[in-house]
Amino acid sequence: MRIKYTISLVFFVALVIIEKENNIISRVSDKLALKQTPQTPLQPSGLSHILPKHNASFTTLSKTNSAFSLIKRRLENYSQHKEVVTRGRKHILLLATTRTGSSFVGEFFNQQGDNMFFLFEPLWHVEKMLTLETGGTNATASAKAYRDVLQQLFLCDFSLLESFIEPLPVNHITTGLFRRESSSSLCEKSVCSPVIKGFFERYRCRSRRCGPLNLTMASESCLQKEHRAIKSVRVRQLENLRPLAEDPRLDVKFIQLVRDPRAVLASRMVAFAAKYKNWKQWAIDGEVPIDDDEVRKLKGNCDNIRLSAEIGLRQPAWLRRRYMLVRYEDIARFPMRKATEMYRFAGIPFTPQVKSWILKNTQASKETSGVYSTQKNSSEQVEKWRFSLPFKIAQVVQKVCGPTLKLFGYKFVSSEEMLTDKSISLIEDKVFNFL
């Protein structure tokens, strides 16, 4: 009887330890109650496969001892792994809004080399599904979804993102990952499955003909990388990402990229002509209804950017030494200097491969510099908007985004002549303390 009691007690303790290990290794998401999530590409290691089921019994205490020995080794290995993560591995989140040059700046990390796992706009899938299912009106649900997906991706777990991809991946294999070709990590040989002749032959990935993406292979590749970086234009408030900064498994650095709101609007009017048809018409008419929904949306965007920056620049305890503010205009004028600063802030080596890419892609010709291209004559991009945005439109932006312009050091224009006079700089020399 005493032996049976001892075995039962030992088995109970083993289960407690198993549960603790699983909680440490992986947070189980509720999938935001949107849909049932398929089997994860990388299942938590757990220990269920080494222990008997509940209705079985140990025949000898030696089996119990073996099980506990394995449990101990697993926990010791995980503890050592956790220390390595917090000391060496870096996680970089580049936060921006559309048309701020984020694709260009994202390449600073995408071009890092074999030790970087970079993802381009993975939250696109989340935003798309939430818009379809909730109308895009539930800001709280969106913020939670974005945070949870980012957290799992930094841990190389694609399972939650997988539940947002349409059509739903089969056996963790998908052809529908948004802009896969923009991530060098997802076009490497290790994750580039063979092309099925005739069906996927047209699919190209960084000049390589690739078949569908296997998310399990992507997870495994991610785990092998020393650092991880994600670029996103969909996070509205930095405060919502606080759990990432406080997660002991991560060492997250937040880089917020901003740009003159007048330049952003001018770029969007060209890139997203259909969505910005009202602004284009107002530019022709010369009058802007200040109480229009589109104007209020512009003000809301500026306020979100400013509020996030104000939090970051205050350096609260959870953001101390984790936040950096960068103006696109400074990157465009001094790309190598700003890239060096960003890498120093992130705590990762600035490789010759990145330097070479920057030199090559900041002196692009007009023929190679399209609306969505990452190849730019960067110094020209800074002033280009001043000759396409009417003064009346610039005035409206200054009125609704005034506090944002002031915080980031962008000068107001008072006349059409001042707007188009290239001898007058609209960018103040300003240093943002982030260390």
Segments of 240-385 assigned E as strands: 252-258, 323-327
Question: Counting Cβ atoms within 10 Å, is residue 269 exposed (0-12), middle (13-18) or buried (19+)?
Answer: buried
For residue 255, pLDDT over 60 is answered with yes
> Are 141 and 130 in contact, with CB atoms under 8 Å apart?
yes
What is the per-residue pLDDT for 210? 81
The band of 378, judged by pLDDT with boundaries at 50, 70 and 90, is low
Q: Which pTM value belongs to this model? A: 0.78
> So what's the pLDDT on residue 54?
38
According to the model, what pLDDT value does residue 138 have?
83
Which pLDDT band, with edges at 50, 70 and 90, does 134 fall under?
A: confident
The model's confidence at residue 196, banded by pLDDT at 50, 70 and 90, is low
Closest CA to 414 of 395, 428, 400, 401: 395
Q: What's the pLDDT at 132? A: 84
Residue range 165-173: average pLDDT? 94
The pLDDT of residue 398 is above 90: yes
Sole residue written with tokens 């980031």:
408
Residue 253, pLDDT above cutoff 50 = yes
Taking alpha carbons only, the member of 355, 361, 356 closest to residue 378 is 361
Predicted pLDDT of residue 43: 40
Do 72 and 14 contact (CB within 8 A), yes or no? no
Q: How far is CA 7 from CA 13, 19, 46, 55, 201, in A?
A: 10, 18, 21, 13, 59
pLDDT of 335 reads: 95
In this model, does residue 299 exceed pLDDT 80?
A: yes
Q: What value does the mean pLDDT take over residues 226-245?
A: 97
**Distance (Å, rounded) from C-alpha 131 to C-alpha 128?**
5
Which range, of 94-103, 321-330, 379-388, averages the lowest pLDDT? 379-388
Residue with tokens 């956790």: 82
* pLDDT score recorded for residue 325: 98
Q: Which amino acid is at 265?
A: L
Could you tell me which residues are beta bridge partners of residue 387? none
- Could you tell me the pLDDT band of residue 203, with boundaries at 50, 70 and 90? low
pLDDT 10s digits, 116-131: 999 999 999 999 999 8
In sequence order, which residues have a C-beta less than 8 Å from that of residue 103 and are 6 or more positions away?
Answer: 120, 182, 231, 372, 374
